[in-house]
Amino acid sequence: MNAFFRSLNQTIGMGVGARRVLTCVVPLLLGLVVLGVAWRNYQSGSPGLTYRMGVDLSGGTTLVYEVKLDDKSITPDQVNQRLEEMATQLKRRIDPADLFNIIVRPISGEQPRIEIVMPFGGEKQDEARQARWDKLTSEVKALIPADKASTVDDLPPDDIKRLEIAAQESGAPQEQLQGLIESYTSTGTGLRQSLSQNQIENIKNMITQQGLLQFAILASSEPDREAFEAAKDYFKELASNPAKKAKEDRKLPGQPPDEPKELIKTELGQSIEKARFFQVRNSTGTGRHTYRWVEMGKGFLYQGDKKYVLDKPNEPVEMDGLLLYRRDIAPQFRRPPFMSLEDQRGGKTMEHYVLVRTPEPGQDVSGKDLQNVYRAPGSRGEPAVGFTLKGTGANKFFDLTSRNVKQRLSIILDGQVKSAPVLNSAISDSGQITGDFSQAELDDLIRLLRAGALPATLDQRPASEATMGATLGQETIYKGTVAIGGAFIAVLLFMVFYYRFSGLVASVALFANLVLTIAFMVLVQATFTLPGLAGLVLTLGMAVDANVLIYERIREERQRGAGLVLALRNGYDRSLPTIIDTHLSSIFTAVVLYVVGNDQLKGFGISLTAGLVISLFTSLYVTRTIFDIYLSRRQHGDLSMMQLFHKPNINFMSIRWAMFAFTVGFTLLGAALFFSRGKSVLDIDFNGGTAYTGRLTEKHDMAWLKSRLGECKLPEMKLEQLFVSDAEDSEGEKSRFFTVRTGETNTQVVGAEVSRLLGSDLQKVDLATIKVEVGPGGLVTGADLVFSASVSPDQASRILREQLRAEPILEAAAKELKLSPDATRIRAQEASRQLRIDVKGKAQAGRYQTMKVVFNDPLEAPLAQAALNATQAAYRDNPQPERLDNFSGSMAKATQGTALAAIAASWIAIVFYLWLRFGNWTFGLAALLCLVHDLFFTLGIIAGCHYLADIPGIAALFQIQDFKIDLPAVAALLTLVGYSVNDTIVVFDRIREVRGRNPLLNERMINDSINQTLSRTIWASFTTWLVVLVLYFSGAEGIHLFAFVMVVGVVIGTVSSIYIASPLLLILGEGRQNAVIDQERSLADEMSAD
């Protein structure tokens, strides 16, 4: 190994160590390997390292879940608040760092729902899946006679069973057929669909868990004997009471048996329930408790060598000191929505319950008391979850455990006992959850507990599920990609043109930066979006700033007569403090955003920190290594560069008051304009809007949809294409399903506008037959529906609910029933609220031709029949949207408040850092006021575009639109803040250098500092501006506003570092107090000398 390093030293020159070169080369090579592997997996659709594209580039999966609210008395405002809380909690649960670009939107209405858009299972993966399937079917065709080859055509992708049966019936050799199938299902590419499906199923599983953690003591035979006997007597009584037994048998999965009750026999032999409290003996004395049955989770049911599985159902059994009960699940309930998908796939047919003491009021310990959750080894070395409790929770936990030493403490998650360790001693603030967990299940459980319990639960089965195409369309993606590539090449060409060999070195560093940054994003499984890629190139453009700083310093040293080696060393050494200051201030900001920010800001903080660290490595270490190798070969070489500014001597401060007044006045005007527009300046990411999902008579691509909806008058319209697994509805890039999202909140206006533009191209489905079921008293309990084509249960439910609330139907029913309109309306609302749709028959992409309407609250026949007939007429008269409802913004109000607080905290952090770094608060405050100036100046320009967009000549020339601030624009504004601070710090660092030990700061010092850094300021700003200008005028839909923010921001940031930040130092009195103190000291010294 030493010989290798000596040989490498001799090859590259003795001035540079081999290990130093390898430090530069090895990360780059590893990064290239990561990118290569990811590209191969992405192209083939294989699992492992890959590029995760956002829904804007490759589509994804959209899920809509109905929310179950147990409290029916809450107001609509409270419902909306709970929905926003649920969306925030779900986002924190499934995408806590916002790396996967998962969108969670609340959907308000009579039946509240949650929509989740995931960039998994998208277009590219479906293409790879189809290609693999086509390859397999062609290989199978080669094994069977040509006249029977058509038997394997038109099979759904990955339907291995049907393919195998068709091939066997056509005479395919069994051994060769099995070989092909095993190869398909066992190789990495054969697992592609299951990987994507596993991702989706995993998220479904996490979504439908409430995440409610509780602690309770298991009832045991000795201290809880009274409760044991009461529970046994209750079930004996149940066996002799057919009505009660039938009620118990009808309970849905997860619903526990009734709690033990004391039964007292009357003189007539009847039993009555008297009380629910039973005596219990604790280690500290006796007490009275209530009890309940809790289901036993799989890990607890089968733990160790103790299997608590009972042989017989419906009778309590004592085992291992516990009271257990088994109930078999009725066959009709062994499917969603009654049973979770996980339990259904596991073949669950029975439930086991254990008797548990109910905690005393005010003494319950739950997930709300958790302080920290982490991975920890169990007592036998198995994977487990450790937890610590906070404050009052720890006190209650100690009180609970100290009174029940030697008893079993059950840890209950979502109504299931996960583990129940014996308490050997009192526990104050920590514990473990053990069970038969896989690593993936352990990670999910930790994430679940950290996110906290949901304020409500979701149905086990999504109301709708579909695959989305790329939301931007192929043409927009192509334009955006070309613009991003062009912007990057433009920066490289400029650097080489202006700085020559030094620019080439900077280009190598930028390439290394690009490779390492993308490799990092792949390794952390971050999602690539078009704005994200634009932001990546923008980061590279800003990374040039460090190289420009170094090169301008080297130029200064050369002009002072220093040799090349000395100039290079001094250039790096003297620019290092400035580079460190600019990067550390941004890293410090990123850390604050991560610690106190919301999910979106945490993701921004992670990517920003990683990018800055990589930038430091490439711009300082890599470039210095290249220069040292160059110098080891050319001791007397030169680093020639172009020079546009040769010792400028501009008196910037002479017009500082005029510029200060102009920009500050314009900023105040812009801020007033921005706030005056209120919510109208925000996109549907913040305001929400309406979603319309329709079905076409024929399959069409995104280009056709955009052309037909091009004249749409709905505000902020966004178009999505949906794909389903049925070949009749979706094929290649064409589909019959689409979704229009708009800022318009009136659903009738949205429906009318879409119908006006698409008209006869929207498919009409008939409700062919209705068979009403009548129960006791002539009340309608349900109805069987048969449609002419498959429809979604969500659509049928929505339309029936609308008709139940329709005024003409209510008025007619009120007359026939001889009820008041208000009473009829209340009956209809209650029936609508408790309405349920059960699906029947085979699903076609989540849609069914036969359904059953169930009125949980049986309805009077005139009202039910009128609503059903009106539903049939609605289907017959007009094409009905698959979905038409309002949705809330993907960023809840509470989340927006958290984000704003985090940003404010990051600004305060900047003030303190610069105060510490420059030794005076004036530098920090001046930088803060400067960035606030830049931010509101830019926001004012965005708000003003609402009016400029109506001026045809100006709007067309500058590609101005009525911009609405969305989440990518927020990322651009945060980037602008960092850019503004960096620009200001460069000038401040030079002011500190020029000032030296002089306590007084004057205009001449500031002018000298600005002139000395002018070349750096102009060219660093120009390279960044070049990037965003190319991005902006490309006109690509997904990055247009993002680029506009930076086009304006870079210009105003450059100007403000000269005419806002620097004059503020004088206005704030920087140096004045120090000068006065020094003068007083000097005078005192003179007087003492006399």
Burial of 927 (0-12, 13-18, 19+ CB in 10 A): buried
Tell me which amino acid residue 103 is.
I
How far apart, in whole angstroms, are the C-alpha atoms of residue 900 and residue 333? 47
Task: Name the least confident of 273-277, 586-590, 866-870.
Answer: 273-277
Mean pLDDT over 1046-1065 rounds to 85
How far apart, in whole angstroms, are the C-alpha atoms of residue 268 and residue 352? 35
- Report pLDDT for 543: 74
Q: What percent of the chain has pLDDT over 70?
A: 76
**What is the DSSP secondary-structure string of 574-630?**
HHHHHHHHHHHHHHHHHHHHHHHS-HHHHHHHHHHHHHHHHHHIIIIIIHHHHHHHH
- CA-based nearest residue to 606, from 592, 617, 616, 594: 594
- Report pLDDT for 29: 93
Instruction: Say yes or no: 284 and 378 in one domain.
Output: yes
- Report pLDDT for 271: 45
Whether residue 347 has pLDDT greater than 50 = yes
- Report pLDDT for 894: 58
- Residue 469 near residue 62 (C-beta atoms within 8 A): no
Mean pLDDT over 216-225 rounds to 86
- The encoded tokens of residue 969 equal 């624009």
Whether residue 1080 has pLDDT greater than 60 = no
Host H or E run for residue 336: none
More confidently predicted of 788 and 237: 788
Instruction: Say yes or no: 446 and 478 in one domain.
Output: no
Task: Name the least confident of 375-389, 531-545, 570-584, 941-955.
Answer: 531-545
Strand order in the sheet with 370-377: 370-377, 383-389, 430-433
Q: How many CB atoms lie within 10 A of CB 710?
A: 9
pLDDT tens-digit readout, 609-629: 788 888 889 888 898 888 888
Q: Is residue 205 part of a domain?
A: no
pLDDT tens-digit readout, 986-1034: 888 888 888 877 767 788 888 888 888 888 788 878 887 887 787 778 7
Q: Is residue 414 part of a domain?
A: yes
- Report pLDDT for 9: 47
Q: Is residue 546 part of a domain?
A: yes
How far apart, in whole angstroms, are the C-alpha atoms of residue 509 and residue 511? 5
How far apart, in whole angstroms, are the C-alpha atoms of residue 670 and residue 672? 5
- Report pLDDT for 897: 66
Mean pLDDT over 508-534 rounds to 80
Domain that holds residue 22: 2-44
Host H or E run for residue 769: strand 767-774
Task: Report the DSSP beta bridge partners of residue 458.
Answer: 67
Q: What percent of the chain has pLDDT over 90?
A: 1
Whether residue 193 has pLDDT greater than 50 = no
Instruction: Say yes or no: 169 and 225 in one domain.
Output: no
Q: Is residue 71 part of a domain?
A: no
Instruction: Say yes or no: 908 and 1047 in one domain.
Output: yes
Q: Which of 453, 485, 500 is the last residue of a domain?
A: 453
Question: Is 252 strand, coil or helix?
Answer: coil
Mean pLDDT over 223-246 rounds to 80
Burial of 792 (0-12, 13-18, 19+ CB in 10 A): buried
Whether residue 1078 has pLDDT greater than 60 = no
CATH code at position 371: 3.30.1360.200
Which runs of E-coded beta strand occur in 340-382?
Answer: 350-357, 370-377
- Report pLDDT for 11: 44
Instruction: Say yes or no: 629 and 647 in one domain.
Output: yes
Whether residue 701 has pLDDT greater than 80 = yes
Give me the numbers of helices (H) and strands (E) for the chain, helices first please: 37, 30
CA 205 centroid distance within chain:
16
Q: How confident is the model at residue 216 (pLDDT cuts 50, 70, 90)?
A: confident
Question: Is 184 strand, coil or helix?
Answer: helix
Q: Which of 195, 229, 244 is the last residue of a domain?
A: 195
pLDDT tens-digit readout, 385-405: 888 888 788 888 888 888 888
**Three-class DSSP labels, 220-239:** CCCCCHHHHHHHHHHHHHHH
Bridging pattern class, strands 271-273 and 263-265: antiparallel
- The encoded tokens of residue 414 equal 């979502």
CA 636 centroid distance within chain:
56
Mean pLDDT over 221-228 rounds to 84
Whether residue 428 has pLDDT greater than 70 = yes
pLDDT tens-digit readout, 759-773: 888 888 888 888 888
More confidently predicted of 400 and 839: 400
Mean pLDDT over 815-822 rounds to 73
Task: Name the least confident of 232-241, 339-348, 508-517, 1041-1050.
Answer: 339-348
Q: Is residue 819 part of a domain?
A: yes
How far apart, in whole angstroms, are the C-alpha atoms of residue 583 and residue 981? 10
How far apart, in whole angstroms, are the C-alpha atoms of residue 699 and residue 472? 19
Instruction: Say yes or no: 854 and 903 in one domain.
Output: no
How far apart, in whole angstroms, are the C-alpha atoms of residue 324 and residue 315? 9
Host H or E run for residue 482: helix 474-499
Instruction: Say yes or no: 710 and 780 in one domain.
Output: no
More confidently predicted of 349 and 334: 349
- CA-based nearest residue to 617, from 117, 1, 25: 25
- Residue 599 near residue 95 (C-beta atoms within 8 A): yes
Mean pLDDT over 108-122 rounds to 71
Instruction: Say yes or no: 897 and 867 in one domain.
Output: no
Q: Report how far apart, in Å, the C-alpha atoms of 407 and of each of 26, 39, 198, 285, 319 are.
A: 57, 56, 39, 14, 15
Mean pLDDT over 17-36 rounds to 87
- Residue 116 near residue 65 (C-beta atoms within 8 A): yes
Instruction: Say yes or no: 669 and 792 in one domain.
Output: no
Mean pLDDT over 886-904 rounds to 66
pLDDT tens-digit readout, 848-881: 888 888 887 787 888 888 888 888 888 888 888 8
How far apart, in whole angstroms, are the C-alpha atoms of residue 549 and residue 546? 5
Task: Name the least confident of 85-99, 198-212, 489-503, 580-594.
Answer: 198-212
Instruction: State the average pLDDT for the chain.
Output: 76
**For the range 729-735, what are the long-range contacts, defined as Cβ-Cβ under 8 Å and sequence gap of 24 or more?**
729/695, 729/699, 729/845, 730/467, 730/699, 730/845, 731/699, 733/123, 733/469, 733/474, 733/701, 733/702, 734/699, 734/700, 734/701, 735/469, 735/699, 735/700
Instruction: Say yes or no: 327 and 437 in one domain.
Output: yes
- The encoded tokens of residue 937 equal 């100046």
User: In which residue are the tokens 């302080």 written?
Assistant: 371
Instruction: Say yes or no: 570 and 600 in one domain.
Output: yes
Whether residue 30 has pLDDT greater than 90 = yes
Burial of 344 (0-12, 13-18, 19+ CB in 10 A): middle
Strand order in the sheet with 767-774: 767-774, 780-791, 848-859, 835-840
Q: How confident is the model at residue 142 (pLDDT cuts 50, 70, 90)?
A: confident
More confidently predicted of 807 and 417: 417
- Report pLDDT for 909: 79
More confidently predicted of 54 and 1070: 54
End-to-end CA distance of the chain: 74
pLDDT tens-digit readout, 552-568: 888 888 888 788 888 88
Phi, psi (5° rounding) for residue 353? -120, 150
Task: Name the least confident of 196-200, 865-869, 1067-1071.
Answer: 196-200
User: In which residue are the tokens 């040292």 written?
Assistant: 628
Instruction: Say yes or no: 269 and 313 in one domain.
Output: yes
Q: Is residue 104 part of a domain?
A: no
User: How many residues are present in the chain?
Assistant: 1090
Three-point CA angle 790, 792, 794, nearest 5°: 160
Q: Is residue 286 part of a domain?
A: yes
Q: How many domains does the chain have?
A: 6
Q: Which of 150, 168, 195 is the last residue of a domain?
A: 195
Q: Is residue 202 part of a domain?
A: no
